[in-house]
Amino acid sequence: MKEALLYEKLSKSRVRCHLCAHRCVIAEDKLGVCQVRQNRKGTLYTLVYDRTISQQVDPVEKKPLYHFYPGSKSYSIATPGCNFRCQWCQNWNIAHMPREQGLIAGYEATPAQIVADARATKSRSIAYTYTEPTVFFEYAYDTARLAHAAGIANVYVTNGYMTAEMLDTFHPYLDGANVDLKAFRKTTYNHYSGAGLEPVLDSMKRMKKLGIWLEVTTLVIPGLNDDPAELRDVARFLARDLGSETPWHISRFFPTYKMTDRPPTPVKTLQLAQQIGWEQGLRYVYLGNVAGESNTACHECGRTLIRRRGYWVGENHVRDGRCPTCGAPVAGVGMGGG
């Protein structure tokens, strides 16, 4: 155990956690919504520090991050726990382990060990992913500071439900993020995730303000968030509030966990969403969880700049952050050298 950061002590041995937008008030011996932060005698502890449940090297495109050192490797870690309860969770067996099994499994791996492994595998970044990285903030924060000192970038794959205090603390070491924007209706968030929409939107706007490279993913689920009007609202928000350079990943849903009563998303629905994204002014709109190529094209002249097959980059023609044909800038971090 390690004492948590970002909390305040209240009367009667209660504490208020300021890590995520739930801002849980936790009585003595009780747990927060995430089930991995516990009040013990008026002190809040994280129960997952050094407690790694998953540790592997991925292509950064798997996060998905298509405009962040494309073609590089990302050393990916997770601990148990999540502050959402999505019924379609792909990593439910580890994300909801503390809630459903009363168990916090994993093995010890110190921040120094994580960074050493990332260097040994020649990973360009460390990704805090698979479960919700906000709930293992202290572990990620200590790792990220060591990583930056070693010249390794840090990325979050997140539901975006962190507080402004958390982002302000982490942002000097957080280089990129992919936020899972699950819907654009408050009722959907409340019913299916046990959370609110507005804090997620606020987090994304704050990330952009802080200079964190941001990409956004929307898993399109039949009958839940696939209405063209809602998809148009998502695309309009991204283009207007975050910027037309913000990549939007539109992913195909497959039945899983507690949501097996719906069919996979028709590919034509994803293609319609992609068209909507372009119509709203987004430069980079990608389809996920579908077979075939997912390439990056120049928004000015249309030239294919980065050719991908699945998660693998086959060609990268970007030079010094620009299209070699027309000279238009290509948004991102580490997009191409001379």
Residue 338 has pLDDT above 70, yes or no: no
Q: Tell me the residue range of the domain where 22 lies.
A: 2-46
Confidence of residue 208 (pLDDT cuts 50, 70, 90): very high
What pLDDT does residue 190 have? 96
Q: Look-up: residue for tokens 């957080």?
A: 174
Residue 109 has pLDDT above 70, yes or no: yes
What pLDDT does residue 293 have? 82
Chain-wide mean pLDDT for the chain?
96
Residues 66 and 208 in one domain: yes
Residues 241 and 171 in one domain: yes
The pair of structure tokens assigned to 185 is: 């209706």
Sign of CA dihedral 256, 262, 268, 270: negative
CA gap 273, 279 in Å, rounded: 10
Neighbour order of strands in the sheet with 248-252:
54-59, 73-78, 125-128, 153-158, 176-180, 213-220, 248-252, 285-288
What pLDDT does residue 337 have? 53
Residue 125 has pLDDT above 50, yes or no: yes
CA gap 63, 247 in Å, rounded: 13
Residues 67 and 8 in one domain: no
> Which residue, 22, 267, 26, 28, is CA-closest to 163?
22
292-301, pLDDT tens digit by residue? 889 999 999 9
Angle formed at CA 305 by CA 299 and CA 311, multiple of 5 degrees: 110
Domain count, the chain: 3
DSSP 70-123: TT-EEEEEE-S--S---TT-TTHHHHTHHHHHS----EE--HHHHHHHHHHTT-
Residues 239 and 137 in one domain: yes
pLDDT (average), residues 173-179: 98
E strands, 171-324, are 176-180, 213-220, 248-252, 285-288, 296-297, 304-309, 312-316
Provide the CA 126 distance to its chain's centre, in angstroms: 13
CATH number of the domain that residue 112 is part of: 3.20.20.70
276-335, pLDDT tens digit by residue? 999 999 999 999 999 888 999 999 999 999 999 989 999 999 999 999 999 999 999 999
What pLDDT does residue 336 have? 81
Residues 37 and 136 in one domain: no
Residues 104 and 147 in one domain: yes
> Are residues 221 and 265 in contact, defined by beta-carbon separation less than 8 angstroms?
yes
Residue 108 has pLDDT above 50, yes or no: yes
The number of beta carbons lying within 10 Å of the beta carbon of residue 160 is 28
pLDDT (average), residues 253-268: 97
108 CB contacts (<8 Å, ≥6 apart)? 50, 51, 52
Residues 191 and 63 in one domain: yes
The pair of structure tokens assigned to 142 is: 């200590």
Residues 204 and 305 in one domain: no
Residues 332 and 296 in one domain: yes
120 CB contacts (<8 Å, ≥6 apart)? none
DSSP structure class, residue 11: G
Residues 59 and 160 in one domain: yes
Residues 87 and 170 in one domain: yes
Residues 281 and 307 in one domain: no
Q: Look-up: residue for tokens 């970007």?
A: 318
